[in-house]
A and B are shown apart, each in its own frame.
Chain A
Amino acid sequence: MKRFSLIALILGSALSMAELWTNHKGLTFSAHSWQIVQDSPKLTTIKSKGGVSFASVSDGMTITADQLDFDAIPNPNKPKTYLLSHAVATKDVKIVKTVTSPQGRQTTEVTGPKADYLTGSRETVVKILGPTTIRNLDQGQQQSMIATGSSGIAYLEPGVQVSSGNGLRRATLEGPVRVVFHQAATKKESASDITATSSQMQLENVGQERRITLIGSVHVMGPNGSETTGVSRALMVHDPDKGWHLDLLGDK
């Protein structure tokens, strides 16, 4: 009986094998079911579902989801290859974007039940509908951030290289929001953890500086057991040379 079950399992997995497609190594995707429509030389529309795995080499980005519908357009900088223009990912969505800067490698991971991904000329906008998690790992600054909310928007750097700053340019999370920062010990900074909760969070990475605005029912637990609560608005700023700084802004 077990032998038959094993054979059935092997047959089942062989039958449902995902098929891998590539666009001259520019974009690749694999899925159990798919439809590719080349509407014109300037646009390919693809619908894929079932264990979808997508990668864009020029964007240093991967998407995994149960279903992914996307538009691809020609890459003006690399003949024959395409760029991701717009995508809608559904169910168990995970978008991972990796960039390198002179300071090191940064990885941003956005997860949620549904995501709308739109590539602009200056930045990429990822809207998450439903419970959202944004993870950002900055190897250069040896810092990590995990933020959760009921929905969110992440603004990502285009391309795979940034001159300074972070692959995650900006982000907005709607509450209840919880954000945890972990700073590993470096030559400039000692190890620290900061946990904050609020009704809304706005994050902005400007150069090497990280600015987080917490709005509504702000609660911050800083290093060495310090605690700030009962504030309606606060600004947390991290500078690699100065460390963390908290400004209590009150009602605006």
Chain B
Amino acid sequence: MSFGCSGKKAPNGGSAHKGKGKTEKDATPIRIINLRDGSVTYAGTKGEQLFLVRFQQGQTSIATDGPMGDTTGTFHDVSGDIYQGAKTASTFIAKEGQGDQKKQILTLSNQVRVTSKDPPAVLTCDRMIYDGKRKLIKAIGNVRVMGTWSNEDAIKEVWATPNLKKFATPDSFDQP
């Protein structure tokens, strides 16, 4: 599992915390780093790039004595890329974003916009969860798709592949 992070360290710097709900003995120290104007790349178990998050402000927490994979991040004013193989499948922007390295999940919320080039399509929604393991986008709340096919009225939930080549109602989505 790999994790890459770059950015300016925020003035308040980073701090080490004890894991919540654990005893002093078995607690996992958590290091929280505040960041500005940076980017984080999340990768899968074989080192393949899953998604890249660029942010204006962010905070990552790393379990200092655990594997580097136990890294989560919370970011504001985000943009980034979702990868499929070596290629960028789609790009995104949102007001808020969260990345979980261990679960390989990217969560975007507030004015989410996902854009693909092939086929040319734009998906907007209130909240998006991208599962890097399943290569599956779950768009939730006021979902609209604009492309070769567009929906007339906002939809509650749409599942899609990262390149927006396939999208469906959750009950009809054929998982490869």
User: Which A residues lie at the B interface, using CB under 8 A?
Assistant: 19-24, 32-39, 41, 44, 47, 49, 80, 82
The closest CB in chain B to the CB of A81 belongs to: B148
Q: Which of B151, B166, B171 contacts A19 (CB 8 A)?
A: B151
Q: Which of B148, B153, B155, B172 contacts A47 (CB 8 A)?
A: B172
Q: Which of B148, B152, B167 contacts A80 (CB 8 A)?
A: B148
Q: Are A35 and B168 closer than 8 Å at their CB atoms? A: yes
Query: Bound complex: CA of A32 vs CA of B172, how far in Å?
Result: 10
Given the interface contacts A21-B149, A22-B150, does A37 sit within 8 Å of B166 by beta carbon?
A: yes
User: Which B residues lie at the A interface, using CB under 8 A?
Assistant: 119, 148-153, 155, 165-169, 171-174
Given the interface contacts A19-B155, A41-B119, does A36 sit within 8 Å of B171 by beta carbon?
A: no
Query: Bound complex: CA of A21 vs CA of B172, how far in Å?
Result: 15
Q: Are A49 and B172 closer than 8 Å at their CB atoms? A: yes
Q: Are B148 and A19 closer than 8 Å at their CB atoms? A: no
Query: Bound complex: CA of A38 vs CA of B150, how far in Å?
Result: 13
Residues of B within 8 A of A37 (CB): 165-166
Output the least CB separation between B147 and chain A (Å).
8
Query: Bound complex: CA of A41 vs CA of B119, how far in Å?
Result: 7
Query: Bound complex: CA of A80 vs CA of B174, how far in Å?
Result: 26
Q: Are A23 and B172 closer than 8 Å at their CB atoms? A: no
Query: Bound complex: CA of A2 vs CA of B131, how far in Å?
Result: 44
Q: Are B173 and A44 closer than 8 Å at their CB atoms? A: no
Query: Bound complex: CA of A224 vs CA of B169, how far in Å?
Result: 58
Given the interface contacts A35-B174, A38-B119, does A22 sit within 8 Å of B149 by beta carbon?
A: yes
Residues of B within 8 A of A32 (CB): 169
A/B interface sample: 18 pairs, CB < 8 A: A19-B153, A20-B153, A21-B149, A21-B152, A22-B152, A24-B148, A33-B169, A33-B172, A34-B172, A35-B167, A35-B173, A35-B174, A36-B149, A36-B166, A38-B148, A41-B119, A44-B149, A80-B148
Dominant secondary structure at the A interface = strand
The closest CB in chain A to the CB of B151 belongs to: A21
7 closest A-B pairs (Cβ-Cβ)? Answer: A35-B168, A20-B152, A35-B172, A33-B172, A37-B166, A38-B119, A33-B169
The closest CB in chain A to the CB of B167 belongs to: A36
Residues of A within 8 A of B165 (CB): 37-39
Output the least CB separation between A82 and chain B (Å).
7
Query: Bound complex: CA of A37 vs CA of B167, how far in Å?
Result: 7
The closest CB in chain A to the CB of B171 belongs to: A33
Query: Bound complex: CA of A20 vs CA of B172, how far in Å?
Result: 16
Output the least CB separation between A96 and chain B (Å).
21
Output the least CB separation between A26 and chain B (Å).
10
Query: Bound complex: CA of A35 vs CA of B173, how far in Å?
Result: 6
Q: Are B166 and A35 closer than 8 Å at their CB atoms? A: yes
Query: Bound complex: CA of A55 vs CA of B145, how far in Å?
Result: 20
Given the interface contacts A23-B148, A47-B172, does A38 sit within 8 Å of B166 by beta carbon?
A: yes
Residues of B within 8 A of A33 (CB): 168-169, 171-172
Output the least CB separation between B16 and chain A (Å).
48
The closest CB in chain B to the CB of A28 belongs to: B152
Output the least CB separation between A65 and chain B (Å).
16
Q: Besides the contacts A34-B168, A35-B174, A37-B165, what 20 more A-B pairs have beta carbons closer than 8 Å?
A: A19-B152, A19-B153, A19-B155, A19-B169, A20-B153, A21-B152, A22-B149, A24-B148, A24-B150, A32-B169, A33-B168, A36-B149, A36-B166, A36-B167, A38-B165, A38-B166, A41-B119, A44-B148, A47-B172, A80-B148
Query: Bound complex: CA of A44 vs CA of B153, how far in Å?
Result: 21
Query: Bound complex: CA of A21 vs CA of B173, how far in Å?
Result: 16
Query: Bound complex: CA of A39 vs CA of B153, how far in Å?
Result: 24
The closest CB in chain A to the CB of B116 belongs to: A38
Query: Bound complex: CA of A190 vs CA of B174, how far in Å?
Result: 58
Residues of B within 8 A of A80 (CB): 148
